[in-house]
Structure 1
Amino acid sequence: MIVSFNPCAPADLYLVHKGSASVTEDETEAMRSASAVILHQGCSAGLYRAARECCKNVFPDFSARFNYPGKIGQTELFRATETPHPDTLICRNLEHFHEQVKGRHGIPFPGFPLVFKFDRADEGMGVFLAENESRLPSLLDMAKEWERTGQSGFILQKYIPSGGKALRVVVIYKQTFAYWRVSNDSICINAAKGAGIDHSSHPELIQKGVNAVKRFCAGTGINLAGFDLIFPEANPADGPLFLEINYYFGRRGLGGSNRYYEILAREIKRWLNDRGIK
């Protein structure tokens, strides 16, 4: 029996799980009886871990997502896998930031400009440029307000000019799709914020980026995500550098939501067939 929490997937039993609610006994029993469990992109850590405990075949593989959450977790994953990425200072909270810079005479890698990113902000949200040291206090004040809401954590990342272009590589099981997102805003190169889509420029760099993502996914098990990469404008041969992983990503560059759902359904069928599950 195939159990699915995703209405796009082929299944014998469809279930609806509400957000971060606890997994019910009925859901647990259904997953224990399943030969495969299909989850949706927005599933909670609790539902994912319950699915993995109940069934050996679970799609997507979100182990990296929940073991290395947020931008802080992704930085730790890049470090653990020796994946090239911009120099990054992890700050779990303001106190942690001040502990790290105290006695170092500042941030422990070549200075400004820096990119400030809140830990749990996605798809270009919560990202700011610190052109120089005078900008940093206002960003730290924002972090202070962030902590008052019960949230915390940010990263400071070396700013690397990329000519206003970032490569988005989308992985949907065995299929990859790559395109440039192009913007006059060199910090938030995001289609949701008006960035253009370019599928054809610099095909050699696109292929290099796709190959890097495939190697990364082979080592981490990730099989549904959108990766953001850059190639340094000064020397593209030094790229790609990984910026972040988006487990819930925009679809405009794929041809829209309907096209994405078609691809996803096809790849889930392939994933099931590869496991001999009908």
Structure 2
Amino acid sequence: MKLVTFDPFKTIGMPNITYIKPEYIFKEIEKVKEADCILFPEYWQINSLVYGLKKKIFPNINTYQLGHNKVETTRVLLATFPQNVPYTKILSKYDVNIETIEEEFGYPLVAKEIKSSMGMGVFLIENRQELKSYVENNEVLYIQEKLPIYKDLRIVYVGNKVIGSYWRIAGEGQFHNNIAKGANYDYNNIPLEAIELVEKVAATLGINHAGFDIAVVDNNYYILEYNVMFGNEGLRNMGIEVEKYIYEYILSSPDFNPNNPNNPNSPIYPKAS
């Protein structure tokens, strides 16, 4: 297989792969056209690749579009797994009533910027002044109930399976559970039900590369969000090399590999080690 990547760090060690800087996509368009699969394009590239050039991409277009921001993710989850979504309102700053939000959510509540990661743009709102400041600084408002948690689960799904999971435990007195915000790892006692939920959600939505953040409250499982470009440090601590799972998935999937042995007319290829 001929592979092209736009992110060399997420594809280290893959054979038969060519790196192209994202801004050089049109300059190197012939290499792109010849590739069997394009890995980790930037969001602005995917329509040209998928709809224009009819290329296979990884992560797939479902993953990119549904994970583009918190609004897209939440709306599709409300349509498919509403029981696993914390109480959430998505509003416009131009059509919002502060008193109504206060009545529905009370304080503290959680407010988020719709496109952020690593805990950035996630705020614990404890009074009206903080809420007004959030409204003034965001066109689209994402308001969510504050769950009684001090940790959450990061469950990583690659290809067609969960490849690793761990708890992220907030520092003492801290609100954020993100590692980038000082949280700690715990690899013990991962609930099977949470893994099964992620597998079901990913299969239903056609997602093939995501880090799901799951909150557990009274044996209920809530999907806080999923990140298309998740950090790998927690997995590396477990000895998991994500790029190997990606490569094996691309080789074995009939969606990507024209020589997949599942096709009786195709030659057998060696399995990725």
Q: TM-score range by the shorter chain?
A: 0.7 to 0.9
Query: 1:113: Cα distance to partner?
Result: 2.0
The one-letter code matched in structure 1 to 2:71 is I
Query: 1:179: Cα distance to partner?
Result: 0.6
Q: Distance in 1 between matches of 2:147 and 2:157?
A: 25
User: Is 185-194 or 152-161 further displaced after alignment?
Assistant: 185-194
Residue 158 of structure 1 is matched in structure 2 by 145
Shift in alpha-carbon separation, 1:274–1:64, aligned structure 2, 3 A? closer
Q: Distance in 1 between matches of 2:34 and 2:124?
A: 50
* Residue of 154, 158, 161 corresponding to 1:168: 154
Residue 85 of structure 2 is matched in structure 1 by 85
Residue 39 of structure 2 is matched in structure 1 by 39
Residue 136 of structure 1 is matched in structure 2 by 131
* Residue of 249, 254, 263 corresponding to 2:230: 249
Q: Distance in 1 between matches of 2:185 and 2:201?
A: 24
Shift in alpha-carbon separation, 1:122–1:109, aligned structure 2, 3 A? same
Q: What SS does the aligned partner of 2:213 have?
A: strand
Shift in alpha-carbon separation, 1:23–1:244, aligned structure 2, 3 A? same
The one-letter code matched in structure 2 to 1:170 is V
- Given the two structures, how large is their TM-score scaled by the length of structure 2? 0.79
Q: Distance in 2 between matches of 1:270 and 1:82?
A: 26
Q: What SS does the aligned partner of 2:132 have?
A: helix
Residue 272 of structure 1 is matched in structure 2 by 251
Q: What SS does the aligned partner of 1:240 have?
A: strand
Residue 232 of structure 2 contacts residue 242 of structure 2 at CA under 8 Å; is this kept in 1? no
Residue 72 of structure 1 is matched in structure 2 by 71
Q: What SS does the aligned partner of 1:265 have?
A: helix
Query: 1:13: Cα distance to partner?
Result: 4.9
Runs (5+) with no aligned partner, structure 1: 147-151
Residue 265 of structure 2 is matched in structure 1 by none
Q: Which residues in structure 2 correspond to 1:110-129 (within 5 Å)?
A: 110-129=105-124
Residue 266 of structure 2 is matched in structure 1 by none
Q: Distance in 1 between matches of 2:148 and 2:44?
A: 39
Q: What SS does the aligned partner of 1:120 have?
A: coil
**Number of residues of Structure 1 aligned to a counterpart in Structure 2:** 249
The alignment-based identity, stated in percent, is 26
Shift in alpha-carbon separation, 1:15–1:255, aligned structure 2, 3 A? closer
- What root-mean-square deviation, in Å, do the aligned CA atoms of Structure 1 and Structure 2 show? 2.7
Query: 1:127: Cα distance to partner?
Result: 1.2
